[in-house]
Chain A
Amino acid sequence: MTRTAVAPTSDPAVRKAAPGGAPAPRRSGRRRIALPYLLLLPALLLELLVHLIPMLMGIGMSFKELTQFYIRDWSSAPWAGLDNFAVSIDFDAPVGQALLKSFLTTCLFTVLSVALCWFLGTAAAIFLQEEFRGRGILRTLFLVPYALPVYTAVITWAFMFQRDNGLINHVLHDQLGIGDSPAFWLIGDNSFWALLVVSVWKGWPFAFLTVMAGLQNIPRDMYEAAALDGAGVLKQIRHITLPSLRPVNQILVLVLFLWTFNDFNTPFVLFGEAAPEAADLISLHIYQSSFQTWNFGTGSAMSVLLLLFLLVVTGVYLLLTTRGRKTSDV
């Protein structure tokens, strides 16, 4: 809200439209405090409805023996105590083993994907910082993956990755002559790399956009001063750009991490109902455990474990990065 919008005015309509700004002269104190909260109420209610209640229900379900016999009325399902959790983390039995393997795959996948997204996004943003002909077009082009609907984009990738008729093998095998026979990308071990390519393709424009915004806040005269002192481009990036981007990167990496770790759409559209073992990301794995084997109790327990893991990682990350920032600010 801008300052001009809250300038005192005699028009009551305008006054009401500006709740959070300068006080209207005749408003009593209590109302002034209550109004913002009342205006937030609809959003809060929806948040409760869309996020919190389902989450609490999910936690409730994780303690129940919830199979297809009870999904019409899940509250009537028998109490399972911690059984669902025990099954999920019993790493000697197939369910736990598969979950652990899927978790480790997801960790490796997330680290690679976030690192590549961040690197590509930052490199592109720095490259496009200088004015040159065609910069606008490039900026627009780079954002295309971000603007496309996920489903459409990923299904196109699925076509391209087909072994016999896909574009990828046409280029790699038919034109460049790599490999004795065309490779499989949608089944077997290569599926991990196929998924990584699509994930990075889809994720890096967000990093690009965020870093580009962060770069706008670095004063140009810092670079000019550095240049006068004889610092080259690489030195400028290392000593000015990257440190100045720190607060931006802190959030960017966290968001990319959470999105990638939880990504469901990309593997689901790319591989269909059953992902290959090598690319069995955890959200799809949990989906399969609950919705395809109709074992909603175990699925919920796995989701709760995932939630706990992400909460801990996020907490530790924020603790470390903010503490680091405070000391560096001093």
Chain B
Amino acid sequence: MRRIRAAVTGAVTLSLAFTATACGGGESGEATPKTLTYWATNQGSSLEVDKKVLQPELDQFERETGIKVKLEVIPWSDLLNRILTATTSGQGPDVLNIGNTWSASLQSTGALLPFDAKNFEAVGGKDRFVDSALGSTGVAGKDPAAVPLYSMAYALYYNKQMFKDAGIAKPPTTWDEVTAAGKKLSKDGKWGIGVEGSNLSNNIHQVFVLAKQHGADFFTADGKADFTSDGAVAAVKQYVDLMATQKIVAPGNAEYAQNQSLSDFAKDKTGMVLWQTPSQTFASQGMAPEEWGVVPAPVPAGKPGQDKQTNSMVAGINMAVFKNTKNLDGALKFVKFMTSDEEQILLNKAYGSVPPVKGAQKDPAFSDPSLTVIRDTLAGSAAALPQVPEESQFETVVGTAVKELFADAAAGRPVTTESVRAKLEKAQQQMPKK
């Protein structure tokens, strides 16, 4: 009998213990934890490449501080959901990378540590960072929710041999020139320019810049969604028209979402792509650096600059600290390490991006022509995506609208100002009411 009782008690205790851990008890009570968990985004051509780039640096950090960093590289498709889950459960990593466009959205959840004066001081000061990069770290007027880690911007990449074969003397700098060049290139199964019609974020980046060029924004000054202004409609139509009416984009691009447009480019099937720092991907697809050229992304007319001459969003990755971290001191030390001049030079070199840290930008590694274009764009003609809490929703609903319009264009259905406006109207009504 006693044995039965013992067995039953054991079973119940075990199940209760299981319940407790499943609820997220976790380990705690450690006075000075000697480990950090770090979620890195996928920057290189694969998750493995990222581990190879980052692990030696994390080992270096451990040698310097005695703090071990547990690395997890997370694919883009999972990252936002993983962060949301971590936010809800409170069980997240100590330090994480986020896409800089999400800064304001994630800031609004209250899960990220605000970088106030004191925290900025702990990582070396705000002045070390480039202004444009700091513009994508959270809502203006609030303490940033993250610090910039890697910077990128859009530029126009073109295939030198295809341009030569089509008799195009100089790479295009305005949209009219892009269309003209595209028409010369689009024949015999080859196409002018590549798009990623099913990639919601990429769609947003492109139509955001075009909207700026039409003098419009997707949010009003007080942060309300404003998707159906004439400028916004014209911007979306102009982008989809590259396929629908200009016919310089292959219809198949409407279903691209996995960077297939880059492999088409590397395989000489597409003459141009608008992209952020694709040099590593081109190389991994077997394209030699001398086979492609790069110029600033196109503007309506003239030269890139502010406002209507905006030709890129401020792209990049930020580094944030999870507010629930049990090792705040170590987490800030790690952010300081990753944003130090030496690490910035090394990491940005490995990823083909530009350091958002002024000191590191001076390194000669970042003055080759392709990176100079990016650097100049970031300094003079790039604009940050709206830093509003609803940015993430905006990416989803407007990105989906553009995807659906591309599907219409690919199927040969007309894309008109009315159909564009209707899709954007629907997108706007799907935004959560405030």
- Co-complex (A, B): yes
User: Chain A: residues with CB nearer than 8 A to chain B?
Assistant: 12, 16, 31, 35, 38-39, 41-42, 45-46, 49, 67-69, 71-72, 74, 93-95, 98, 162-164, 184, 186-189, 272-274, 276-277, 288-289, 291-295, 298
CB A83 to nearest CB in B, in angstroms, measures 9
- Bound-complex Cα distance A144 to B92 (A): 38
Neighbouring B residues of A39 by C-beta, 8 Å = 8, 11
- Bound-complex Cα distance A74 to B404 (A): 33
SS class, residues of chain B in contact with chain A: helix
Question: Is there contact, CB below 8 Å, between A95 and B411?
Answer: no
Question: Is there contact, CB below 8 Å, between B430 and A95?
Answer: yes
CB-based nearest B residue for A39:
B11
Could you list some 8 contacts between A and B, CB below 8 A?
Answer: A31-B1, A69-B109, A94-B426, A187-B198, A188-B410, A274-B399, A277-B404, A295-B393
Question: Is there contact, CB below 8 Å, between B400 and A274?
Answer: yes
CB-based nearest A residue for B254:
A187
Question: Is there contact, CB below 8 Å, between B87 and A72?
Answer: yes
Question: Is there contact, CB below 8 Å, between B389 and A69?
Answer: yes
| Interface-facing stretch out of B14-22, B47-55, B163-171 | B14-22
Question: Is there contact, CB below 8 Å, between B255 and A41?
Answer: no
Question: Is there contact, CB below 8 Å, between B393 and A41?
Answer: no
- Bound-complex Cα distance A163 to B426 (A): 28
Q: B248: CB under 8 A from chain A?
A: no
Query: Which residues of chain B from 388 to 434 have any CB-CB distance to chain A below 8 Å in the complex?
Result: 389, 392-393, 396-397, 399-400, 403-404, 406-408, 410-411, 425-426, 429-432
Neighbouring B residues of A94 by C-beta, 8 Å = 425-426, 429-430
Q: B7: CB under 8 A from chain A?
A: yes
User: Chain B: residues with CB nearer than 8 A to chain A?
Assistant: 1, 3-4, 7-8, 11-12, 14-16, 18-19, 22, 77, 81, 84, 87-88, 90, 105, 108-111, 197-198, 200, 250-252, 254-255, 257, 389, 392-393, 396-397, 399-400, 403-404, 406-408, 410-411, 425-426, 429-432
- Bound-complex Cα distance A288 to B432 (A): 13
- Bound-complex Cα distance A276 to B411 (A): 13
| Given A49-B22, A274-B403, also A294-B392 (CB < 8 A) | yes
Question: Is there contact, CB below 8 Å, between B432 and A293?
Answer: yes
CB-based nearest A residue for B411:
A188
Neighbouring B residues of A273 by C-beta, 8 Å = 77, 200, 396
Neighbouring B residues of A42 by C-beta, 8 Å = 11-12, 14-15, 18
Question: Is there contact, CB below 8 Å, between B410 and A187?
Answer: yes
Shortest 5 CB-CB distances between A and B: which pairs?
A42-B15, A187-B407, A94-B429, A292-B396, A164-B252
Neighbouring A residues of B397 by C-beta, 8 Å = 293
CB-based nearest A residue for B110:
A72
- Bound-complex Cα distance A31 to B408 (A): 70
- Bound-complex Cα distance A49 to B426 (A): 38
Neighbouring B residues of A98 by C-beta, 8 Å = 426, 430
- Bound-complex Cα distance A46 to B255 (A): 42
| Given A16-B7, A41-B12, A41-B15, also A93-B392 (CB < 8 A) | no
Which residue of A68, A163, A272 contacts B108 across the interface (Cβ within 8 Å)? A68
Neighbouring B residues of A74 by C-beta, 8 Å = 88
Neighbouring B residues of A276 by C-beta, 8 Å = 404, 407
CB-based nearest A residue for B258:
A272
- Bound-complex Cα distance A293 to B401 (A): 14
Question: Is there contact, CB below 8 Å, between A45 and B15?
Answer: yes
- Bound-complex Cα distance A98 to B404 (A): 14
CB A294 to nearest CB in B, in angstroms, measures 6
CB A96 to nearest CB in B, in angstroms, measures 10
Q: A45-B19, A187-B197 are in contact. List 12 more A-B contacts (CB 8 A).
A: A16-B7, A31-B1, A42-B11, A42-B14, A42-B15, A69-B109, A69-B389, A72-B110, A72-B111, A163-B255, A294-B105, A294-B432
Question: Is there contact, CB below 8 Å, between A294 and B12?
Answer: no
Question: Is there contact, CB below 8 Å, between A184 and B426?
Answer: no
| Given A16-B4, A184-B410, also A68-B88 (CB < 8 A) | no
Neighbouring B residues of A163 by C-beta, 8 Å = 251-252, 255
CB A67 to nearest CB in B, in angstroms, measures 5
| Given A16-B7, A35-B4, A94-B430, also A69-B108 (CB < 8 A) | yes
CB B337 to nearest CB in A, in angstroms, measures 28
Neighbouring B residues of A298 by C-beta, 8 Å = 432
Neighbouring A residues of B255 by C-beta, 8 Å = 162-163, 184, 186-187
Which residue of B11, B22, B77, B105 contacts A68 across the interface (Cβ within 8 Å)? B105
Q: Which of B197, B255, B425 has the most CB of A within 10 A?
A: B255
CB-based nearest A residue for B105:
A68
| Given A46-B15, A94-B429, A184-B255, also A274-B396 (CB < 8 A) | yes
CB-based nearest B residue for A42:
B15
Neighbouring A residues of B198 by C-beta, 8 Å = 186-187, 272, 274
- Bound-complex Cα distance A273 to B7 (A): 48
- Bound-complex Cα distance A119 to B17 (A): 47
Question: Is there contact, CB below 8 Å, between A288 and B105?
Answer: no
- Bound-complex Cα distance A295 to B105 (A): 13
Neighbouring B residues of A93 by C-beta, 8 Å = 429
Question: Is there contact, CB below 8 Å, between B3 and A12?
Answer: yes
CB A3 to nearest CB in B, in angstroms, measures 22
- Bound-complex Cα distance A261 to B406 (A): 28
CB B144 to nearest CB in A, in angstroms, measures 18
CB B361 to nearest CB in A, in angstroms, measures 34
- Bound-complex Cα distance A184 to B425 (A): 26
- Bound-complex Cα distance A49 to B250 (A): 51
Question: Is there contact, CB below 8 Å, between A71 and B15?
Answer: no
Neighbouring B residues of A272 by C-beta, 8 Å = 77, 198, 257
Neighbouring A residues of B257 by C-beta, 8 Å = 272
CB-based nearest A residue for B81:
A291
CB-based nearest B residue for A191:
B407
Which residue of A35, A72, A184 contacts B90 across the interface (Cβ within 8 Å)? A72
CB-based nearest A residue for B397:
A293
- Bound-complex Cα distance A157 to B24 (A): 37
Q: Which of B7, B87, B198 has the most CB of A within 10 A?
A: B198
Neighbouring A residues of B87 by C-beta, 8 Å = 71-72
Q: Which of A12, A16, A184, A293 has the most CB of B within 10 A?
A: A293
- Bound-complex Cα distance A67 to B84 (A): 11
- Bound-complex Cα distance A12 to B1 (A): 10
